[in-house]
Every structure is written in structure tokens, then in C-alpha cells.
Chain A
Amino acid sequence: MNIAVDSTKIPAPVFERSPGYWSSVWRRFRRDRVAMAAASVVVGLLLLALLGPWIVPADPYQSSMLNRLKPIGTPGFPLGTDELGRDMLSRLMLGTRLSLFLGITPVLAAFVIGTCLGLLAGYAGGPVNTVIMRTIDVFYAFPSVLLAIALSGALGAGIFNSLLSLTIVFVPPIARVAESVTTQVRNRDFVEAARASGAHAFTIVRVHVLGNVLGPIFVYATSLIAVSMILASGLSFLGLGVKPPEPEWGLMLNTLRTAIYTQPWIAALPGVMIFITSISFNTLSDGLRSAMDVKQ
């Protein structure tokens, strides 16, 4: 074996710009097949939600007494019909819209509010921390499902009120995660060095803290989307969320429950959609976490 190395073949070192944090996260995420599959399902669902009204094969509101509870595979109704003879496929497709909206919006709102509260509590520390975190602990005294139902019931039925009550349910856990990561970052020497440079607390949080805490909080919030969808479905199921005839998976599950003995597969379809969506979001969040979890 020739072990002599031809020095002319050694490439000169290239000093390229090193990849930023987020691009290296994306590189690791791309290699994770399961997470990529979950991400493509999520993207598909988002597209469906976006384009729903224009791509449904039939009118999702058109009922027909003659075509009630047709089984899966009936010509013209690939996924059968519901208890009022409406096309299940079209209703499930259009239902993506409301279900995702109800799943994502409260988490997004709670993400913004909870991050602000957690940053404030974690960075200020002391009495400010005590006041914020103990107030948040009060919400932990109630199971989240009960809290959502109680709040929705008190505020009255309707989409906006169920969004509001779900947001209130999700602020405490997000704030708690935000507070704990902020406290960790706050004690690192680079924050101390930034203070020593005379920077205002707001500048330090914006430049040095935010970039280091948003990742973990975001991952946690992604995992809450599935919970939020299920809670929102539950609220609709109880008649506290979406009103008929709007297609929404939880509400469809509710109205189809009378058909569970005659057409169990049809009655299960909205549940299958909820299952697929929530498991996709959870897997996505897991993948994000492991892609972000590097020693740096």
C-alpha cells in the first residue's frame, strides 16, 4: 500500500463562514426521518387548512336525507356520509381549518404571553419572580381539562371564548418553562459580562437571553398544540366551542356518536384525524428538541 501522500493533492484550507445555529439545527433535523415525516404531515395539514374550501370534492354543508350514513367506499362518497348525509371527506378536509386554528392559536397566544411572563420572572428574580410564579401556581391547582371547561362555561359558548379559555390554560406551563430556562441563562457569565458592559436590562434580554431561551420554549409549545387540539375538540364535543353546522373534528365526533353502532368506522374518522394531527405535532416537537439539543 502506498502511504506516501502527494502534498499537491491536499486542498488548501478554506475559511468559509461557519453555519449559524439555526442552519445547523435544520441540518440535524433533516437527517431525522421520523421527524421529517411528521413535519411533512404537518405541512400537508396546514396546506389542507389553507386551501380547504377550494379543493373539497363536494359541498360539505349539503345534507341529504336519502344518503345518510353511507359506508366508506360508496360511489361519490369515498369516506361515506354523516348522520345528515353530508360528504365525510369534504367535511373532514374543511374541518382541518377550524381544528388546527383552535389547536394552534391558543398555543401561539400563550407562547407570547407565557414567554414574556417567564422572561420577566426569570430575569428580574426576587420578589417579581415570587409574585408571578406563585400566581401561576394557582392555575396548577386545577386539572387543565376542568379549567378549560370551567372557563369556557363561565365565558359562554363560542369560538372566541374557547380560544380565550385555552390560552389561559396554556400560559402557566409555558411561563414556567420560560422562567426556568431564563433563570439558567441569567446565571451564565456572558450575561454578567453584558451587565458589566453597562447594557440596559432590556438590551441584555433582547440580545443575550432571548436567543438562548426561545428554542426550548418553542419546542415545549409545539408539544402543546396536540393537547390544545384535543381540548378544543373536547370543548366542541360538550357544545362549548364550535357551533353546528361548522365542520370541526371534535364537534363531528360528538354528532356522530349516535351512529357508533351502525357505522363505527365513520364515527371514528374525526378521531383518526385528531390522532394523526396530534401525533405529528408531538413527533415534530421531539425531533426539534433533539435537533436543538447540542452541547453549545
Chain B
Amino acid sequence: MSAAPQPPPAAGRTLLEVRGLVKHFPLKGKRIDGSPAVVRAVDGIDFQVREGETLGVVGESGCGKSTAARLLMRLIEPTAGEVVFDGMGVGSRDLPLKAFRRQVQMVFQDSYSSLNPRLTIEDSIAFAPRVHGTPARESVERARDLLARVGLEPRRYAERYPHELSGGQRQRVNIARALALQPRVVILDEATSALDKSVEAQVLNLLLDLKDAFGLTYVFISHDLHVVRYISDRVMVMYLGQVAELGPCESLFHEPRHPYTRALLASMPTMDPDRRTEEAPLAGDPPNPINPPSGCRFHTRCAFAEPVCASRPPTLGSGYGGHPVSCLMHEPGSGHSAARAGA
């Protein structure tokens, strides 16, 4: 097979694009007005992942981060919206699902549950290449190469079973497994969250090394802001199934624009005793995604909420310049007192 030579990756070219992605999980029974009850896990998100970058995704538990990851991988079918990879719609004739999955792989949070206990780790890693038609011996060779790349001596570990490894070693195996198909994008769904801090740091550095070595693009999902800040180029903040703010890592951490992002950042533990706070910046749990608040979904917990916030949903936009944010305060002519009238 003579493939056309790959054009050099243009810096910042959009590799993965998500358009209006929605996932509603149906519930049994109906709501009081007769409409079917659904959990709005992901409720209309748009974003792009550029080639070679790391997009961090943060948010509280239950905000739809993991659902978004599974939608990206097409492990679950979206209710609406589409994912476009390299200009081709996923699942279309140009890019069948199997071909797409060769390009995009995923690492799960639970390192234990994500490895088959009955297979040696080299067999687990070699499974995906075998599925895509690589001969058995070559697949095992590739698995052993990858084990070496993730820092596990193949002679010592290749024929071991998952229960004989530590959590950090298992997660290295999972990373090797995700890389076995030589993908271009790797989705890391809380991939380091379950590890000890010291091991987590090692795995994060390993991820950065692998990214350089294989020219990977990462979607890094985490609830740990420190980790996201360390590894990401751009960060997307999610709240109740929607995008609250999306911007370059440094500008988002230095000049957060959405009140939710500010509250999240304020909740980060700090080493500076002068900046320690006794008060929790965000009170209560996020509202129920079965029955999300009207208007801006954050208005029930927002310190700057005004009556208009309960009636008018904000749109993700740059407003007065800067990175995109979904807040009426940054939407010209929205009616919020902090927004300038008409633009």
C-alpha cells in the first residue's frame, strides 16, 4: 500500500472538532408535564482540539467530563451533534468507526478494571494491533517495545498478570495499550487521578515524554487543577454538561473570566499562608442534571447572579475580547449590570 506522504503537521491545525454534542440518558417514567425524563449529561458542547496540543478538561464530579470522553470515542452514541476528525465526520463513509478508533485511543481512570485479569500484559497490549490485522508476532514485539517506552522492562514484566503490578505500573500498561495502535489523539479520562502523588508526577512526565516522542495530541480530563495546569496548553471548564470557559492555560489561570472558573481556582489549595481562605468558595452540590436551572446554569450558585441570569442562557463567545466564556457579564447587551449595553 503506497500512501501519500503525510504533510507535516501544521501547528495548531484543528484535528478533532466537536459540534453541538448532546447526550441525554433516558430515565424511566416521565416528568410531571408529560415530557420524557432525561439526564442531560452533556448538553450541547462545541470545542476544537488542535494538533499537538493538550486540551485540559476540568469540572466538578458529574459535570459530564467522562460522558464527553466516551462520546468522543463513540463508546456511547450521541443524542445529537457530531465529531469531526481531520475534516471527516466520524462514522461517515470517509471515516468508518474502526478507522477512527485507530487514530483516537483512551486511557481510563481505574487501572485495575481496565486490564483483563486473565491476560498477560503483553497480550493485553497486543490485542488491539491483532484486531487491526497485525500478525501475532509483530503485535507482541510492538507490545514489548511499548512496555520499554513506558518504563517497564519487557523481560521482567511482559508475561506478568495485572494483579502482580502496582497501580502506577498498571497505568503505564494502560498507556502502552492505548499507544499500541499508534493513534494521533489520546483521551486521558482521569488517567492519573487514582495514583499516589509521587507516582502521578512520574506518569505525567512520562505522558509529556511520549507526547513529544510520538507527536501525540491529548485530551486530558481531570478534576485536579494543579495537574491540568501542569500538563495543558488550553483548558476547557465544564459545568453541568456545558462549556463555561475555554482558553489558553495561562490566561485562564491568571485571568479567569467566568465566576465558576474563579470559584474553582479559589478552591485550589495554596502554599501561600496569606492567601489561605477558610471559606469554601463554592457552596453546595451542583444542581441536578435531570432538571437543570433555567437560563445560565450556574446562576443558582453564582455570586454575581442577577434576575436576567435566570431567564437568558448565555452563549459561549469572546464578548469583549479574550478567550471564549459563557457568561452574561461578558456578553455585550445581555442586560446584566456588569455588561456594557449594546456593542
Residue ranges of A at the interface with B (Cβ–Cβ < 8 Å): 15, 17-18, 20-21, 188-190, 192-200, 203, 207-208, 211-212, 295-296
Contact = CB atoms under 8 A, between A and B. Distances in A.
A211 B118 contact: yes
A217 B304 CA distance: 59
A15 B116 contact: no
B82 interface: no
A37 B101 CA distance: 52
A129 B33 CA distance: 31
A90 B102 CA distance: 66
A194 B127 contact: yes
Given A15-B155, A15-B156, A196 B163 contact: no
Nearest to A188: B113
A197 B101 contact: yes
Given A212-B116, A212-B117, A203 B131 contact: yes
Interface in B85-134: 97-98, 101-102, 105-106, 108, 110, 113-119, 124, 127-128, 131-132
B73 interface: yes
A18 B118 CA distance: 12
Contacts of A295: 163
A21 B118 contact: yes
B213 interface: no
A296 B117 contact: yes
B156 A197 contact: no
Interface in B171-196: 174, 177, 181
Given A189-B110, A211-B118, A199 B127 contact: yes
A171 to B, nearest CB: 26
B272 interface: no
Majority SS of interface residues in chain A? helix
A296 B170 CA distance: 13
Interface in B21-35: none
Given A197-B128, A199-B128, A211 B105 contact: no
A190 B181 contact: no
A17 B164 CA distance: 12
A278 to B, nearest CB: 31
A212 B162 CA distance: 14
Given A192-B108, A296-B161, A198 B118 contact: no
Given A196-B73, A296-B161, A190 B113 contact: yes
Given A21-B161, A196-B75, A198-B101, A208 B128 contact: no
29 contacts: A15-B156, A18-B159, A20-B161, A21-B161, A188-B113, A188-B114, A189-B113, A189-B114, A190-B114, A193-B114, A193-B174, A194-B127, A195-B75, A196-B73, A196-B101, A197-B105, A197-B127, A197-B131, A198-B98, A198-B131, A200-B131, A207-B119, A208-B116, A208-B119, A208-B127, A211-B119, A212-B116, A212-B117, A212-B118
B160 interface: yes
A193 B73 CA distance: 10
Contact of A211 (B98, B115, B116): B116
Contacts of B160: 18
Interface of B: 73, 75, 97-98, 101-102, 105-106, 108, 110, 113-119, 124, 127-128, 131-132, 155-156, 159-164, 174, 177, 181
A21 B108 CA distance: 24
Nearest to A295: B163
Contact of B131 (A199, A211, A212): A199
A194 B108 CA distance: 12
B193 to A, nearest CB: 14
A197 B116 CA distance: 14
Top 8 A-B pairs ranked by shortest CB distance?
A197-B128, A189-B114, A211-B118, A198-B101, A198-B98, A296-B163, A199-B131, A189-B113
Contacts of A195: 75
Nearest to B174: A193
Contacts of B73: 196
A208 B118 CA distance: 8
B113 A17 contact: no
A232 B161 CA distance: 43
Given A18-B159, A198-B102, A198-B132, A189 B108 contact: yes
A20 B160 CA distance: 9
Nearest to B124: A190
Contact of B75 (A18, A190, A192, A208): A192
B110 A18 contact: no
A183 to B, nearest CB: 15
Contacts of B132: 197-198
A52 B117 CA distance: 42
B48 to A, nearest CB: 21
A198 B98 CA distance: 5
Nearest to B187: A196
A207 B127 contact: yes
Contacts of A188: 113-114
A147 B160 CA distance: 48
A20 B163 CA distance: 11
